[in-house]
Amino acid sequence: MYRIGIGYDIHKLIEGRDLIIGGIKITHEKGLLGHSDADVLIHALIDAMLGALALDDIGTLFPDTDPKYKNIDSTILLKHVFELVKQHGYKIVNIDSNIIAQAPKMMPYIPKMKEILCKILNVSADDMSIKAKTKEKLDAVGQNLAIEANAVVMLEKI
């Protein structure tokens, strides 16, 4: 039996924050604003996994009013959600995702992101896709005010 889930996230880009995407620090003059480390890709992945299981979403599971999650490394949240996937008797078949940012260029960082995420989620590199897009200078993302991510996850009952 298969289940599919979709995830989306957006965070505002501001000065004075580290830019953390896909579990790695990216060199940039701005970072993403959020209660956690604001890892937009991991948050989209988490919501895709929770959505596939029809569970509560990331904001309900890890409320931004809880001081416990302040500046938390999102890979910790991802590991927790992957445990939920396993507890429900599923494994990940494959993942597809987009990071949508006008700047900086994501491409050089994608192999390392894949390595980190594949290890946490127990999938091979062949089953993990991370694509980098821009917004062609349109809207808030295109104006360098925010970064977005989408993710789709397919689960299979073990």
Binding-site ranges for Zn ion (CB under 5 A) = 9, 43
Residue 93 or 116 with smaller CB distance to Zn ion = 116
Question: What contacts 86, CB < 8 A, 6 or more positions away?
Answer: none
Separation between Cα atoms, residue 33 and residue 118, nearest integer Å: 26
Q: How far is the CB of 61 from Zn ion (least distance, A)?
A: 12
Q: How far is the CB of 37 from Zn ion (least distance, A)?
A: 9
Residue 43 or 114 with smaller CB distance to Zn ion = 43
Q: How far is the CB of 49 from Zn ion (least distance, A)?
A: 14
| Residue in the structure block whose two tokens are 């062949």 | 126
Residue 9 or 148 with smaller CB distance to Zn ion = 9
Residue 80 or 157 with smaller CB distance to Zn ion = 80
Residue of minimal CB distance from Zn ion?
43
Rounded (5°) CA angle 8-29-99: 20
Residue 32 or 154 with smaller CB distance to Zn ion = 32
Separation between Cα atoms, residue 85 and residue 121, nearest integer Å: 10
**Which residue type, as a one-letter code, is found at position 110?**
I
**Which residue type, as a one-letter code, is found at position 156?**
E
Q: How far is the CB of 32 from Zn ion (least distance, A)?
A: 8
The residues facing 11 across adjacent strands are 147
Give Dmax over CA atoms of the chain in angstroms: 46
Q: How far is the CB of 39 from Zn ion (least distance, A)?
A: 7
